[in-house]
Amino acid sequence: MQLGGCEVSVKPAAAGNRRKLKFTTELTLLIAYVAMIIAFSILSPYFLSIRNFMNIGLSASITGITATGMTLVLLMGGLDLSVGSIIALVGIIMAVLMKGGTSVPAVVLVGLVVGLISGLINGLFITKVKINPLITTLSTMAIYRGITFVSTDGLSVLISNKSFSFFGRSFILGIPVAVIIMLILYVFFAYLLRYTKFGRKVYAVGGNPEASRLSGINVDRIRLMAYTISGLTAAVSGIILASQTGTGLPNAGTGMELNAIAAAILGGTSLAGGKGNIAGTLLGVLILSTLSNGLTLLNVPSFYQMIAQGAVLLIAVTLDVIRGGGYK
Amino acid sequence: MDQELCLEMKEITKRFPGVLALDRVDLDLRRGEILALLGENGAGKSTLLKILAGAYQKDEGSICIDGKQYEFATPKEASEAGVTVIYQELNYLPDLTVAENIFLGRQPTKGPLGRIDWDKMNREASEILVLMGVSVSPKTLMSNLSVAEKQLVEIAKALSKNMKILVMDEPTAALNDAEVTKLFEIVRGMKEKGISIIYISHRLEELFEISDRVMIMRDGRRIGVVDTAATTKDELVTMMVGRQIDEMFPKKYLESGETLLEVRNLTNRTKVKGVSLTLKKKEILGIFGLMGAGRTSLADTLFGAEPLTGGEILIEGKKLNLHNSRDAIEAGIALVPSERKTAGLILGMSVKENITIATISELGKGMGINLRAEADKAQRWVIELNIKTPSIHTVAESLSGGNQQKVVLAKWLEAKPKLLILNEPTRGIDVGAKVEIYNLMETFCEQGLGILMISSELPEILALADRILVMSEGRITGEFTREEATQEKLMKCAVGGM
């Protein structure tokens, strides 16, 4: 007597290939990245050198670090447009403090706290006042940016403290400190998302907030934490950028939110939440900065580079849609 | 009856990765006939019809309509050949009018600029609706119609085209009795005009009322075709599930234990108005009522998902102060919601992740998840509840309804509740899985659980519940022991009369 004659459904969306599919998304990106490296190596004699790759890493680090928090927010089903402004805000506040003679460790701590509070404000408006994340962070993007202009009259603030250049301009064993910080963050986020309860809850909330709430997850707390962490990683980017440029610039990080989103999407993270991972984002960041580096070496004007970057994103997402064509 | 064949599908075979979905299935449909298609979820009915509708491509076999062979590459081609499918999830544009929906993409035009001829469109739409006996104005917005009316508009849309074959997938699932009667009238009318109809429903009573023949499918195969007039319910069910019907509703009689749940004068902001009830351990308390009676709202309030404005909830004599579902879970309450896909599961997550999501905080010390323990737990539930899934890593989305429901059950059983609230536990799942879920309910009751079962299915509630409460307009309007309860008594209380 067999009970339960109901077999696994036969929808083509079935077969549990999601896991495999994720793998192929990354594999495709990796293959594309290697192809890109080979192409640029052939086209430019300057491309394939350790020095140049350090440059790529250095230019990738700001976007890369911002994209870690952004990936978290996107996975959780949100969006954070204020990160570029947080980068500038953190830079300006640190520069002003250093002008007044505050020590580097204290300044860095203040920078991180500023990022944390900025993210927390986003999160509070989104979870407590229940304003849509797009509108919330669009507003705070303008507000945070506005504060930097108001407090400096739109002028940049020079940082004369030599030891502050450690974050953006020094090397450990030949590797830029910024790159090391970025890689540490990626390892941390990979662990956070894959192996911790918090990470699991982020995916759950992104996948279905209602079912998550009914499963006892404190959805608002997860959201609040995600936006706070995004503010914090933006602050880390802000510290490195201020250190690299040696100035607090009121217009620093403009457009960074879009670069970070682009990298995450390129890496396979879903704008709708619940799907994606941090390794994909790292590949997305590397592809975008390598493209820009290679095109610069080939003397392609930066306006054309913009077109190329947009086209790469569009092609990657198109390929993903085509490959997922059978999927709803 | 006219024996001329209108549709002949021969030896249709369809493979999906790892699954043989259809195994040489034949289907023949006579002109002006209503053929019912019966089978458990996952039997292959939908796949077969999607092939007919051009939504899927067959691997082998042939399709002939009126003697002409077709290869449908797209739904459009099938539609042009005269095949119309009305799916369970209706496809319509809510912000357009009825007439616009009927003539979507082929609105009558006038003038050199191709302006839409509104008068003509509304007039023609009106003609079709009148012909069907539907009293809906063509100028009404779709979003203002009831589900039944929307369905009728879909049929009107099909009628306005050159339709030969109409496929209806569970058309009565969301309709009330009067609406069903109306729908059947219209379906019979179409039959008289020579349109052939394939009708899918899980409601056996309906098939006897409307169909000429019944084709039964199981495990991707055609089991048989019978004349409706010459068969019985028991025969159909036996063919469907391969076992006898009297096994469908098992009932063990258990000595119920001490009082588990006590609800006193519970009121909330939306539907519930002064509900009191008690539930003992090892008891199944059924709550019957019609749509909108406040049963779901009651369940949500007991589970902390909706705030209460008055009254109290006690578990084992202890008063609860629920702010959210987490509080309820900690107090030993679990809720299997009626909306499996939107509230029960995280569809994009794996079976494993869905099973452990409510108890994830207990899996491992500190921040990390003990992945080994997690996989073991999930695997244990897959075996214990007989969840049919290729692996614990399969995404929940790809399972059949019954197996999805078992995943939700596993999630809550893992939380080791004292009180299990089941809201429409067998909605939209096939007979086989239903029986399994009933058996599981009995098993867990034996282990000391109290179950509050909300159901709209009278046979189910009569067969399983030890006691039955009836709700109407937010209040309890009747209480019956298992022995007292009859379909008539329950229904009488449900519609408000005592």
Cβ–Cβ < 8 Å for B494, B286: no
Collect all residues with Cβ–Cβ distance below 8 Å to B491 and sequence separation of at least 6. Answer: B458
* A41 occurs within a structural domain: no
Query: What one-letter code names the amino acid at B217?
Result: M
Please check whether residue B68 lies inside any domain of the structure.
yes
The Cα B250–Cα B53 span in angstroms is 39
End-to-end CA distance of chain A: 37
* Interchain pair A17, B242: CB under 8 A: no
pLDDT per residue rounded down to tens, chain B (498 residues):
446 888 999 999 998 765 678 999 999 999 999 999 987 666 788 889 889 999 889 999 999 998 889 988 888 888 888 898 888 777 788 899 999 999 888 888 888 888 888 999 999 999 888 887 788 899 999 988 887 788 888 888 887 887 889 998 888 776 777 778 888 988 898 888 889 999 988 777 788 889 999 999 887 889 899 999 998 877 887 787 665 444 556 666 777 778 999 999 999 998 899 999 999 999 999 999 877 788 999 999 999 999 999 999 999 999 999 999 999 999 999 999 988 888 999 999 999 999 999 999 889 888 899 999 999 999 999 999 999 888 999 999 888 888 999 999 999 999 999 999 999 998 777 777 888 898 899 888 888 899 999 988 777 888 889 999 999 888 999 999 988 888 778 877 877 644
- Chain B, 152 to 211: residues with Cβ < 8 Å from chain A are none
In sequence order, the β-bridge partners of residue B215 are B37, B225
Whether A70 and A78 have beta carbons less than 8 Å apart is answered as no
B319-345 burial, b at 16+ Cβ within 10 Å, e below that, comes to: ebebebbbebbebbbbbbbbebeebbb
Q: Based on the domain organization, do B179 and B31 belong to the same domain? A: yes
Residue B211 lies in a domain: yes
Give the DSSP letter of residue B242: S
Going by pLDDT thresholds of 50, 70 and 90, the confidence category of residue A328 is very low
- Dist CA A159 CA A248 (whole Å): 7
Which contacts of B439-444 are long-range, i.e. CB under 8 A and separated by 24 or more positions? B439/A3, B439/B250, B440/B385, B440/B406, B440/B409, B441/B284, B442/B250, B442/B251, B442/B252, B444/B413, B444/B420
Looking at residue A24, what is its pLDDT?
A: 66
Overall number of domains in chain B: 2
Chain A CB contacts of B305 under 8 Å are: 213-214
Give, for B320, the enclosing helix (H) or strand (E): none
Is A2 within a domain?
Answer: no
The one-letter amino acid at A47? F
- List all residues of chain B from 34 to 53 with a beta carbon under 8 Å from chain A: 40-42, 44, 47
Inter-residue contact B100 to B93 (CB < 8 Å)? yes
H or E element, residue B265: strand B259-268
Considering the domain architecture, whether residues B224 and B264 belong to the same structural domain is answered as no
Same domain for B136 and B278, yes or no, is no
Check: CB of residue B107 under 8 Å from CB of residue B121. yes
For the segment A267-324, what is each residue's pLDDT rounded down to a tens digit? 989 888 898 999 999 999 999 999 999 999 999 998 888 898 888 888 877 876 776 5
Residue B145's domain comprises 5-243
Contact call for A6 and B402, based on CB within 8 A: yes
A38 falls within a domain: no
With pLDDT > 70 as the criterion, what percentage of chain A qualifies?
Answer: 91
* Contact status of B411 with chain A (Cβ, < 8 Å): yes
Ranges assigned E (strand) in chain A:
157-158, 171-172, 175-176, 247-248
Q: What are the tens digits of pLDDT across the range A210-261?
A: 999 999 999 999 999 999 999 999 999 999 999 999 999 999 999 899 999 9
Can you tell me the mean pLDDT for A260-267? 92
Residue A11 confidence (pLDDT): 37
Report residue B373 as tokens.
């323990």
Q: What value of ipTM does the predicted structure carry?
A: 0.84
Residues 326-355, chain B, touching A (beta carbon < 8 A): 326, 328-329, 335, 337, 342-350, 353
DSSP secondary structure string for all residues of B27-71: EEEETT-EEEEE--TTSSHHHHHHHHTTSS--SEEEEEETTEEE-
Check pLDDT > 50 for residue A51: yes
Does the CB of A50 have a partner CB in chain B at under 8 Å? no
| Residue B329 resides in a domain | yes
In three-state secondary structure terms, A260 is: helix
Any chain B CB within 8 A of the CB of A277? no
A3–B386 C-beta distance less than 8 A: yes
CA distance B122 to chain A (A): 34
The answer to whether B394 contacts A201, with C-beta atoms less than 8 Å apart, is: no
B345: distance to nearest CA of chain A, Å? 6
Pairs from A143-149 (Cβ < 8 Å, separation ≥ 24): A143/A85, A144/A82, A144/A85, A144/A86, A144/A88, A144/A89, A144/A118, A145/A84, A145/A85, A145/A88, A145/A89, A145/A250, A147/A89, A148/A85, A148/A88, A148/A89, A148/A91, A148/A92, A148/A250, A148/A251, A149/A250
Quick check: A212 and B357 CB within 8 A? yes
Say which amino acid occupies B154: E
* Higher pLDDT among residues B486 and A16, named by residue: B486
Asked if B138 and B171 sit in the same domain, the reply is yes
Q: CA separation (Å) from B23 to A3, A184, B13, B400? A: 22, 54, 5, 19
* Residue B63 lies inside a defined structural domain of this protein: yes
Residue from the list A12, A195, A216 with its beta carbon closest to the beta carbon of B329: A216
**Are residues A6 and B41, on separate chains, in Cβ contact within 8 Å?**
yes
Question: CATH number, domain at A121?
Answer: 1.10.3470
pLDDT score, position B457 = 78
> Is residue B304 a part of any domain in this protein?
yes
| B275 and B204, same domain (yes or no) | no
Residue B67 backbone dihedrals phi, psi, to 5 degrees: 80, -5
Helices (H), A215-277: 219-245, 256-266
> Could you tell me the two tokens for B51?
């092939």
The continuous run of DSSP H or E covering B13 comes out as strand B5-16
Task: Give the Å distances, CA to CA, from A58 to A51, A175, A187, B112, B243.
Answer: 11, 9, 18, 62, 69
Residue type, B418: K
Contacts of B323 (CB under 8 A, 6+ apart): B304, B307
The answer to whether A248 touches A57, Cβ cutoff 8 Å, is no
The C-alpha of A271 sits at a distance from chain B's nearest C-alpha, in angstroms, of 14
User: CA A293 to CA A52: how far, in whole Å?
Assistant: 9
Structural contact between residues A250 and A156, judged by C-beta atoms closer than 8 angstroms: yes
User: What's the total number of domains in chain A?
Assistant: 1
- Average model confidence (pLDDT) across chain A: 88
| A101 close to B (CB below 8 A) | no
In which band, very low, low, confident or very high, does the pLDDT at A206 lie, cut at 50, 70 and 90? very high
**Does the beta-carbon distance from A7 to B19 stay under 8 Å?**
yes
In a domain, B254, yes or no: no
* A·B CB contacts under 8 A: 168
Q: Is position A11 within any domain?
A: no
Note whether A73 and A227 are within 8 A (CB).
yes
Residues of B whose CB is below 8 A from A5:
40, 218-219, 241-242, 432
- Please judge whether B326 and A218 are an interchain contact, meaning their C-beta atoms are less than 8 angstroms apart: yes
Determine the 3-state secondary structure of B455 from DSSP. strand
List alpha helices for B252-400, DSSP H: 295-302, 325-330, 351-356, 371-384
* Containing structural domain, residue A140: 22-32+49-323
User: What are the DSSP E strand ranges found in A103-196?
Assistant: 157-158, 171-172, 175-176
Cα B483 to Cα B99, B248, B280, B464: the distances in Å are 52, 19, 18, 12
Does the CB of A18 have a partner CB in chain B at under 8 Å? Answer: yes
Per-residue confidence (pLDDT) for residue B167, from 0 to 100: 92
E strand or H helix at B293: none
User: Does B252 fall in a domain?
Assistant: no
Whether B253 is covered by a domain: the verdict is no
Q: How far apart are CA B427 and CA A124, in angstroms?
A: 39
Chain B residues with CB-CB distance to A15 below 8 A: 16-19, 390, 394, 398
Q: Note the maximum CA span of chain A.
A: 84
Q: Is residue A277 part of a domain?
A: yes
Are residues B231 and B208 in contact, defined by beta-carbon separation less than 8 angstroms? no
Q: pTM score, two decimals? A: 0.75
> Domain check: are B108 and B182 in the same one?
yes
Kindly state whether residues B201 and B281 are assigned to the same domain: no
Please tell me which residue of chain A has the smallest CA distance to B39.
A6
- By the 8 A CB rule, do B107 and B100 touch? yes
Q: In a mutagenesis test of the A interface, which of B57, B360, B377, B423 is the best target, namely the one with the most A β-carbons within 10 Å?
A: B360
Residue A70 confidence (pLDDT):
97
CATH number for position B307: 3.40.50.300
At B478 the three-state DSSP class reads strand
Is B104's Cβ below 8 Å from some Cβ in A? no
Distance from CA of A301 to the nearest CA of B (A): 43
Q: Is residue A14 part of a domain?
A: no
Strand partners, A85: none
Residues B124 and B273 in one domain: no
In a domain, A43, yes or no: no
Looking at the fold, whether B480 and B336 belong to one and the same domain comes out as yes
Taking CB atoms and an 8 Å cutoff, what residues of chain A touch B220?
10
Instruction: Select the residue of B328, B342, B395 nearest A210 (Cβ to Cβ).
Output: B342
Report the alpha-carbon distance of residue A88 to residue A147 in Å, rounded.
10
How far off is chain A from B350, nearest CA to CA, in Å? 8
Residues A236, A242: Cα–Cα separation, whole Å: 10
Same domain, B30 and B135: yes
Residues A91, A156: Cα–Cα separation, whole Å: 10
Class of residue B248 by CB neighbours under 10 A (exposed 0-12, middle 13-18, buried 19+): middle
Q: Verify that B142 and B107 share a domain, yes or no.
A: yes
Closest listed residue to residue B281, CA positions, set B263, B299, B257, B264: B257
Residue A3 falls inside a structural domain:
no
Are the C-beta atoms of A169 and A160 separated by less than 8 Å? no
